[in-house]
Amino acid sequence: MSVVHYTIAAGETRELVLINETNTDWHVVQEAGSVLRVHMLYLSQDEADAQWQSSLTVEQNGEGCRSEIYAMGLLHDSQQAHVRTRVIHNIGGGYSSQIIKFVLDDQSKGSFRGELKIQPDAQKTEAYQTNRNILLSRQADMLTEPQLEIYADDVKASHGATTGQLDDAALFYMQQRCISREVAAKLLLQAFFEEVVSTLSDENLREEITQKIQDIL
Interval 8-32: pLDDT, tens = 999 999 999 999 988 999 999 999 9
Overall pTM surpassing 0.85 (yes/no): yes
Under DSSP, is residue 143 helix (H, G, I), strand (E, B) or coil? strand
pLDDT band at 172, cuts 50/70/90?
Answer: low
Q: How many domains does the chain have?
A: 1
151 in any annotated domain: yes
**Angle between helices 203-216 and 181-197 in degrees, nearest 10:** 150
pLDDT for 171: 59
Cβ(57)–Cβ(24) below 8 Å: no
The mean per-residue pLDDT over the stretch 133-152 comes to 95
120 in any annotated domain: yes
pLDDT reading at 112 higher than 70: yes
139 in any annotated domain: yes
48 in any annotated domain: yes
109 in any annotated domain: yes
206 in any annotated domain: no
Percent of the chain with pLDDT over 90: 82
Name the residue range of residue 35's domain.
Answer: 2-165
The mean per-residue pLDDT over the stretch 53-64 comes to 96
